A and B are shown apart, each in its own frame.
Chain A
Amino acid sequence: MMDPIKRNVRAPGRTPWQREAAGFMLGFAVLALLPFVFADSYSRHILIMAFIYAIVASNWDLSLGYGGVFNFGHLALFGIGVYAYALLTKLAGLDPWLALVASGVVATLAAVIVTIPILRLKGIYIILVTFGFAQLVMQVIISQSELTGGTQGIVRIPGLYLFDHNMVRDAKIGYFGIALGLLAASTIFLRMLVRSRTGASIVALRDNEEYAISRGVSLVRQRLITLAASAFFTGIAGAFYAAYQRNASIDVFGMSLATIVLSMVLLGGTGTIYGAIIASFVLTFFGEAMADFGAWRPMITAVLIIVVMLVYPSGLVGMIQAAWAGLTGRLKRPA
């Protein structure tokens, strides 16, 4: 059992890793078995989209929830992944698999570039600069229309192949497998990072910056690590999205997508990684269930986001934790 003193600390490393690994394997197994239940290509498309959202949202949780860095350019990193893949495969003729990884590297580099101006900033200023960064990446893509197609976007982007096997065949089972694999890799990476000493120092900087710095934590280094780490799988997810959809458009920089993914992070409860993943699934399936509402869908979603934020600000994971605490009779610190 857990040490009674450490029990109430909501910080990485609370759950024994064996137990977390077991839970992870269980979740992975359930998701891996889903294609046997949903054999049609439409259901699998929804699942693939949910996985992509989950990767983007959970990586955002690293910078936003753990790092406390209000990076509002996170979706731009996703968009950079989309366009990096599109340009690398279409213009440079790079192998799609190489381009997938390269897009992650490009997004990481972009994250490093945007981190430099926000190193000395706090709170609202970081929101402003990163938001401006996202909008300006979009402006540059629109203005360089000879390369990027401008507002028209890029079509017929090469998809992913494995020994001449098109991943779309057999009701998208190939893409489903890759998406799940990427989500698993990203989640393992994120959880290992937040459970490590580096993760602890990132949280320390968030909770008490002055004290953390006085104990020898480097703000510059840790913030660079946080942003760069959150960008890698986000960029790969963007590249995968481009390969899967086979087109790229500037819609990925729009406010509506950013609002949806941000609400996944906040709805799930920040600083958990798993919360963002669960909320991504919930919101994606919920969005599909409301497909019949047409134009009313974004409005219903908006109202729901507001209601959840007003009623339960600590999100789904906070809700589950509270329920669990109630069941086991333990008193836990509110998230």
Chain B
Amino acid sequence: MGALAEILFGGLFQGSLYAMMAVGLALVWTTIGVFNFSHGVFMMLGAYFAWQLVEVGLHPAAAFPLAVLATAGVGWLLQAAVVRPLIGRANLVLVVVITTLAAGSLIENGVLEIWGPRSKQLPPLVDGNTMIGSIGVSLHQIAIIVVTPLILGALWMFLTRTRLGLALRAVAQNEDASQLVGLNVTALYGLAFAIAAGLACLAGIFMGGYRFMSPVMGADPLLKALIVVVFGGISSISGPIFAAYLIGFFEAACSYYFGLYWTPALLFAVLILTLMVRPEGIFSSRGRGLA
């Protein structure tokens, strides 16, 4: 019983973080058709923004949304600077990988210059600890588990129920037709990047609340988000969300039964097997289409 509870809780918690990151990657891929390798840096930058705002005396309830907005702004700017000018080039995917990598390196080193290498920590969403059955957990982790589905649900509603969300999905499905019916495709590209960056910032705030922050804190979550989108298929939003929780549970079970060290290798083995059987991911079809 203890084992099951631990795996379930650990899986839900990790899965929430992975889902938060992976959805942003998938959102940018489906709308623009590029892969944003500075996504992990958005997460790190968002956490530092939040830290700075709390440091100047703002209440977290005000600081965190402001940080999300600021990171979304950076996401929009980055898109305008290193992605939009390249649209239409033959090797777009490859060139954007290198420009977003370079932009990420620029931001990472900039953060190191501004805030220094010393580890920082954010206040948790909710203070305190509690017991679930026999395992001790922090309320911060529980808050993350509860808040993440709400935010992802809100994103889902936005994409399926609002005009703007539908416009984003239209661009993802058919760019030329969207342009023909008068959608501002360039602005929607910016919006996709901004939303992705905002979600990454939230993931950063979540992570900064229970672990020390550093300029390289986004690298590992980016890797995990990559695995999640490969696993779940990148051409939708729902696929990566399911895959995020699945991988969360898988990791929790692996590290419980085989130890933390073997988990990455096992994860990779499962990934290879999945790709050999279903190259497009387990929850997805090959086409591009949001939601």
Contacts and interface: CB of A to CB of B under 8 A. Distances in A.
A132 B226 contact: yes
A116 B275 CA distance: 10
- Identify which of B81, B101, B102 gathers the most chain A CB atoms within 10 Å of its CB: B102
B56 interface: no
Interface size classification for chain A: 35 or more
B239 to A, nearest CB: 13
Nearest to A267: B98
B3 interface: no
B89 A117 contact: no
Contacts of B229: 128
Interface string B75-88: 00000011001100
Contacts of A306: 81-82, 99, 102-103, 106
Interface string B245-281: 0000000000000001110110110011001100110
Interface string A99-121: 00000000000000000111011
A268 to B, nearest CB: 13
Given A124-B93, A139-B264, A263 B275 contact: no
A140 interface: yes
A185 interface: no
Given A121-B279, A306-B99, A306-B103, A295 B227 contact: no
B275 to A, nearest CB: 5
Contacts of A298: 105-106, 109
B106 A136 contact: no
B97 interface: yes
Nearest to B272: A117
A306 B85 CA distance: 11
A233 B275 CA distance: 28
A155 B81 CA distance: 42
Contacts of A72: 97
Contact of B98 (A143, A144, A305): A305
Given A298-B109, A299-B110, A302-B105, A266 B94 contact: yes
A121 B233 CA distance: 12
A124 B85 CA distance: 20
Contact of A302 (B85, B102, B112): B102
A255 interface: yes
A310 B86 CA distance: 7
A259 B101 contact: yes
B38 to A, nearest CB: 11
Interface residues of B, number: 44
B234 interface: yes
A133 B272 CA distance: 10
A120 B271 CA distance: 14
A302 B276 CA distance: 36
B91 A313 contact: yes
A266 B279 CA distance: 28
B230 interface: yes
Given A124-B93, A127-B35, A136-B267, A309 B275 contact: no
A140 B262 CA distance: 8
B58 to A, nearest CB: 29
A134 B60 CA distance: 38
Contacts of B85: 310
A206 to B, nearest CB: 11
A70 interface: yes
Interface in A299-334: 299, 301-303, 305-306, 309-310, 313
B93 A127 contact: yes
Given A143-B261, A262-B101, A116 B276 contact: yes
Contacts of A125: 230, 234, 275, 279-280
27 contacts: A117-B276, A118-B275, A121-B275, A121-B279, A124-B29, A125-B279, A127-B93, A127-B97, A128-B230, A128-B234, A129-B230, A132-B227, A133-B268, A135-B264, A139-B264, A143-B264, A255-B219, A256-B105, A259-B105, A262-B97, A262-B101, A298-B105, A301-B102, A302-B105, A306-B106, A309-B82, A313-B89
Interface of A: 64, 70, 72, 116-118, 120-121, 123-125, 127-129, 131-133, 135-136, 139-140, 143-144, 255-256, 258-259, 262-263, 266, 270, 295-296, 298-299, 301-303, 305-306, 309-310, 313
Interface of B: 29, 35, 81-82, 85-86, 89, 91, 93-95, 97-99, 101-106, 109-110, 112-113, 219, 223, 226-227, 229-230, 234, 260-262, 264-265, 267-268, 271-272, 275-276, 279-280
